[in-house]
Amino acid sequence: MAAALLAGTALCAPAAMAQDKELTLCWAAWDPANALVELSKDFTAQSGVKMNFEFVPWTNFADRMLNELNSGGKLCDLMIGDSQWIGGGATYGHYVKLNDFFDKEGITMDDFLPAAVDAYAAWPKGSTNYYALPAMGDAVGWVYRKDWFERPEIREAFQAEVGRPLDVPKTWDELVEVARFFQGREIDGETRYGAAIYTERGSEGITMGVTNALYPYGFKYENTPGKYDMDGAVNSPDAVAGLEKYKELYECCTPPGHSDAYMTEDLDAYKSGQTALQMNFFAFFPGIAKDPNVGGDTSGFFVNPSAKVAASVLGGQGISVVAYSDKQDEALEYIKWFAQPDVQKKWWSLGGYAVHNAVVEDPSFPESTPFAGQFLEAMSNVKDFWQEPIYAELLLAMQKRMHDYVVADQGTAQEALDKLIEDWTVSFEDDGKL
């Protein structure tokens, strides 16, 4: 026993020597961040490096952290920045380029899902220049009241009214049919509504929402990738149809007052029993599965419905070393640790969305949670917003045009998309791209 105690003391010595070292990791304040705090205890135990965390609510996350980066601030040593930030992080020198470090440590991007590497790590897109390690895979999916869908009286009513069996929607037409059926319906003595969807104006909400319809209908940002030739892509007839479908869903089938809703508002509406359907990021699904009101067999999960193609809105982030940090060596040590297959497996088990092949290619992965298979399917067809360095300016324009049309009922879908091209053309001209 004494020998074992002495051995244990010796093993702890390096950690004790490093106890004066610490890192601050910056991210959004949400359930996966709490899981990362728990996971990171293992890093501190192994390295002796204390971990501090700066978590900011999603509605303020971009403003706070982009200001931090643009000012060369030293608050963050590690940044789990949104996928759209990778272009600016690389171009403006906010993020450390990681290629040499990856080569030295034997970390290969071949070990991660290709869509995650392209979305979270590489700039320019399609290149092998890496400024982050894929950290948190995510996409927008859907939750539904499985218990309601299974009730014989509800199934009979749906069959009689719609003319087909009630099932998980596979297309956007079916999604609207289901939401319309539940809108205003009395279940267990309470009035229920169809769907909680994204409509928020201030940050990115309605853009993240409306693209769930635009992408499946055929919306593209450019006719030719990298050419910024938007006319006929952004405002194509298919894109117009997708935008009109989203507005139809908003007008027919959302709960009262749902005109400025994003992740939290959708969660609240669904968990309180207001709606039969909820649009939200997969990151929230572990919490839903455990929720005392809607967890267990009460809820089911499905991927974003298709139209002309299968497509899901990308969420998720990579983890980067901030170029202004004085603790880059320790930050790189954290990334090396985080990239290990065993750490990635534990990350998934705690509620983080690992995109390492050691996790997602495990034969047991699709059955590991009620939504694992759907997550993997969604990540195979994800599409993302512009990742240009001026993405924030581009996002503000889309937020305005989409909210004006969908929520404020101004103009037509065609006019909204035409005006969006005008806005983006000015932005790209000012940026020297056109």
- pLDDT above 70: percentage of residues in the chain: 96
Whether residues 145 and 113 share a domain: the answer is no
If DSSP codes are grouped into helix, strand and coil, which group holds residue 123?
coil
Q: Is the pLDDT of residue 12 over 50?
A: no
Question: What's the confidence (pLDDT) of residue 6?
Answer: 33
- Structural domain includes residue 397: no
Whether residues 219 and 299 share a domain: the answer is yes
If DSSP codes are grouped into helix, strand and coil, which group holds residue 309?
coil
pLDDT classification of 19: cutoffs 50, 70, 90? low
Cβ–Cβ < 8 Å for 275, 195: yes
Cβ–Cβ < 8 Å for 346, 340: no
Whether residues 168 and 226 share a domain: the answer is yes
Q: Each residue of 79-91: pLDDT tens digit?
A: 999 999 999 999 9
Q: Each residue of 154-197: pLDDT tens digit?
A: 999 999 999 999 999 999 999 999 999 999 999 999 999 999 99
Nearest to 56 by CA among 37, 30, 32, 89: 30
- Structural domain includes residue 5: no
The residue whose two tokens read 């091209």 is: 421
How far is residue 45's CA from residue 237's CA, in Å, rounded to a whole number?
57
Domain that holds residue 63: 22-138+316-383
- Structural domain includes residue 249: yes
- Structural domain includes residue 239: yes
Number of domains making up the chain? 2
Cβ–Cβ < 8 Å for 335, 298: no
Tell me the helix, strand and coil percentages in the chain, rounded to 5. 50, 15, 35
Whether residues 331 and 294 share a domain: the answer is no
Average pLDDT for the chain: 95
Q: Is the pLDDT of residue 3 over 50?
A: no
Angle 345-36-103 (CA atoms, 0-180°, nearest 5)? 60
Whether residues 62 and 176 share a domain: the answer is no
Whether residues 234 and 306 share a domain: the answer is yes
If DSSP codes are grouped into helix, strand and coil, which group holds residue 171?
strand
The residue whose two tokens read 């996966």 is: 32
Whether residues 204 and 277 share a domain: the answer is yes
Whether residues 284 and 147 share a domain: the answer is yes
Question: What's the confidence (pLDDT) of residue 13?
Answer: 42
Q: What is the CATH number of the domain that holds 304?
A: 3.40.190.10
pLDDT classification of 11: cutoffs 50, 70, 90? very low
Whether residues 125 and 165 share a domain: the answer is no
Cβ–Cβ < 8 Å for 79, 69: yes
Cβ–Cβ < 8 Å for 132, 81: yes
Whether residues 125 and 145 share a domain: the answer is no
Whether residues 144 and 263 share a domain: the answer is yes
Beta strands in 253-311 (DSSP E): 275-281, 299-303
| Residue 194: both structure tokens together | 């169809």
What's the rounded mean pLDDT across residues 17-33? 87
- Structural domain includes residue 413: no
Going from the C-alpha of 87 to that of each of 80, 91, 163, 410, 431, the distances in angstroms are: 14, 6, 48, 33, 13
Whether residues 299 and 157 share a domain: the answer is yes
- Structural domain includes residue 53: yes
Nearest to 303 by CA among 226, 222, 231, 376: 376
| Residue 45: both structure tokens together | 């135990």
- Structural domain includes residue 13: no
- Structural domain includes residue 432: no
Amino acid at 208: M
Question: What's the confidence (pLDDT) of residue 338?
Answer: 98
Pairing of strands 50-56, 78-82: unpaired
φ, ψ (nearest 5 deg) of residue 141 = -130, -165
> 3-state SS of 192-229?
CEEEECCCCCCCCHHHHHHHHHHHHHCCCCCCCCCCCC
Taking the CA atoms of residue 392, residue 25, residue 137 and residue 63 in that order, the dihedral angle to the nearest 10 degrees is: -20
Domain limit, last residue, from 313, 346, 375: 313
232: left (phi over 0), alpha (psi -120 to 50) or beta: left
**Overall size of the chain counted in residues:** 434
Q: Is the pLDDT of residue 300 over 50?
A: yes
What pTM was estimated for this model as a whole? 0.92
What's the rounded mean pLDDT across residues 232-259? 98
DSSP string covering 25-79, please?
Answer: EEEESSHHHHHHHHHHHHHHHHH--EEEEEEE-HHHHHHHHHHHHHTT-SS-SEE
pLDDT classification of 20: cutoffs 50, 70, 90? confident
Pairing of strands 190-191, 186-187: antiparallel
Q: Each residue of 197-238: pLDDT tens digit?
A: 999 999 999 999 999 999 999 999 999 999 999 999 999 999
How far is residue 343's CA from residue 36's CA, in Å, rounded to a whole number?
11
Domain limit, last residue, from 282, 313, 344: 313
Q: Is the pLDDT of residue 1 over 90?
A: no
Domain limit, last residue, from 285, 313, 341: 313
| Residue 178: both structure tokens together | 């289901």
How far is residue 245's CA from residue 253's CA, in Å, rounded to a whole number?
12
Question: What's the confidence (pLDDT) of residue 105?
Answer: 98
Cβ–Cβ < 8 Å for 87, 389: yes
